[in-house]
Structure 1
Amino acid sequence: MANPYAGEVALTIDGRRHVLKLTLGALAELEAGLGEDTLVALISRLERGQFSSRDVLALIVAGLRGGGWQGASDSLLQAEIAGGAIEAARVAAQLLVRAFGPLTAAEHDSV
């Protein structure tokens, strides 16, 4: 089970449940991969709704790596994500919120 207090989010890929987390190393890789100077710039862009599927995929990969995944990002290009692109975007957003903000009341209730 994903622990939201530890910044974890769950996502099912190809029928297998994964726990994602944005560790410091994963965040550094994310910055480099997306070409942003700071995480604040990335978060600001996402908050304005100016994100691409590449951004979502990069966040998912960073979260997977932070959760211990050893796979290659290219393997996700053909992967089946439960809930599709909408779920992937939701999980990507949750990763950022859990990495940088307190849990919401609804998240407290679901733990």
Structure 2
Amino acid sequence: MAEFAKIFKKLRLERELSQSRLADQLGISKSAVNMYERGDRRPDFETAEVIADFFNVDMNYLLGYSDKITRLSGDHTDPTSGPCVEVTAAELELLKAFRHAGAETQAAIRAILHI
């Protein structure tokens, strides 16, 4: 249960949301958000789906069963919508760092990776 609590809180803080604001966005009570973060309670399946959709993460990642975060850039059923990309939490952190790096750093990384 602690894994979900840790991941849920991390996702909230990454979005810079207060517990109240997140509760409003998810349509649940602030006390539910608080209990989820403390590990006193886990969401039911439907609520977990809402949370996973809101944060755009795979349900297995949210519940602590996988380190793969699925960021969908398209729909598997629609060939025109683009590919889906699976990344680990560590890979996502690298992507965030790259996006915040300066132009020279980004160019150096591209040169190292030959892209």
TM-score (norm 2): 0.29
Q: TM-score, normalised by structure 1?
A: 0.30
Which structure's relative contact order is higher, taking Cα pairs within 8 Å and 6+ residues apart?
Answer: 1
Structure possessing the higher radius of gyration over alpha carbons: 2
